[in-house]
Amino acid sequence: MVEVFEVLPGIFRIRYEYRDSIGYSSVYLVVRDKEAALIDAGTLLDSGKDVFKVLKRVGGTDVRIRYIVVTHPHPDHIGTLAWIKRKSRAEVFCYEGVGEVLKSPVRIFKENFSLGFASRLKLRATEPIFNDQEISGVDVDHELKNFESIEVGDYKFRTYHTGGHCRGHMALYERSLELLLSGDEVLCHPSSPFKFFMDKTGNSKMRERALKVFMELKPKCLLSLHDEPRMGMEAQIAIEQALEAHKIWKSTILDVVSEIGEGSAKDVYEHVKIRIEGLWTGALEFLGVLTTSVFLSELEEDGKVIRKENGKRAIWGIS
């Protein structure tokens, strides 16, 4: 069942069913006069038809979707993309360099998530929203640059490249509304600010920088894809908490490596998981391991840990 809320004038949140794994799945419709834009495109299990139903209800019969903006190319946000693009003939926008990935999204499972054949097969069965066989690609119409604007009626969304959660991740900011659409960079799951992740192409320094930029923007409304909207002071508190959680995860990793001497990212994550409550488990535990790897790479850059190869697997130790 979908729920629809008008968060701000003309900004509609379509919230799909809650799942323990990813929390909510959401998309945003911006409707101004006879123009609309769709921000992200839900999971494979969400219905693209709902988007058109909502559009008709809130905008009438002659409103059309001009743009579909993809904040980042993860499977849980592009599940209905190809279908909606075909139906609406909207132009698809993404950040610079992401177009190639959206053409053939199956590559994400290997390149971003580091999943081999057996893991992908298992994931298909346990989490059907991450079925690598089902996600269709699209041709992107325009790759956005940093700080480029997208106009929808009187609203002007400015892109902020963040690149923390994954390569080419961007957020959108609308100044007159003081609205930040943060994609998956803040509030990645409703259960805890610790439940965020960075995939193999992500970057922990860039995430930290992005969260600091968001704090300076002081949005009065923070919209994310997996959690509820945060309004007023709540928006700033959520960003502060995300930054705090980010720093705690990183420092816990360093503590663990110092204590155990050496181990793989998976070994390190096993220990981190005991110290920080509410991290990734079950079918999506690999996201926790990936995030740990990204942090370890940053710690290596800073000269705090060293990477030793042990066959194919990286082993991390204290420097």
Query: Shortest approach of Zn ion to residue 300 CB, angstroms?
Result: 27
Query: Shortest approach of Zn ion to residue 111 CB, angstroms?
Result: 17
CA contacts within 13 A on the Cβ side of 74? 28
What are phi and psi for residue 68, nearest 5 degrees?
-120, 120
Is residue 35 near Zn ion by the rule CB under 5 A?
A: no
Is residue 184 near Zn ion by the rule CB under 5 A?
A: yes
- Take residue 171 and report the two structure tokens written for it: 């957020």
Q: Name which of residues 71 to 110 contact Zn ion (CB under 5 A).
A: 76
User: Measured from the CB atom, is 132 or 184 closer to Zn ion?
Assistant: 184
Is residue 127 near Zn ion by the rule CB under 5 A?
A: no
Query: Shortest approach of Zn ion to residue 216 CB, angstroms?
Result: 24
Beta strands 91-95 and 64-69 are parallel
Query: Shortest approach of Zn ion to residue 198 CB, angstroms?
Result: 12
Q: Name which of residues 153 to 182 contact Zn ion (CB under 5 A).
A: none
Q: Measured between alpha carbons, how far is 71 from 55 in angstroms, rounded to an integer?
A: 20
User: Measured from the CB atom, is 76 or 132 closer to Zn ion?
Assistant: 76
Host H or E run for residue 166: none
Number of residues that bind Zn ion (CB under 5 A): 2
Is residue 132 near Zn ion by the rule CB under 5 A?
A: no
Is residue 40 near Zn ion by the rule CB under 5 A?
A: no
Residue by residue, DSSP assigns 53-103 as: HHHHHHH-TT-EEEEEE-S---GGGSTTHHHHHHHH-PEEEEETT-HHHHH
Is residue 46 near Zn ion by the rule CB under 5 A?
A: no
CA contacts within 13 A on the Cβ side of 265? 24
User: Measured from the CB atom, is 35 or 76 closer to Zn ion?
Assistant: 76
Residue 68: beta bridge partners? 38, 92
Is residue 199 near Zn ion by the rule CB under 5 A?
A: no
Is residue 267 near Zn ion by the rule CB under 5 A?
A: no
The residues of the shown chain that bind Zn ion, judged by CB under 5 A, are 76, 184
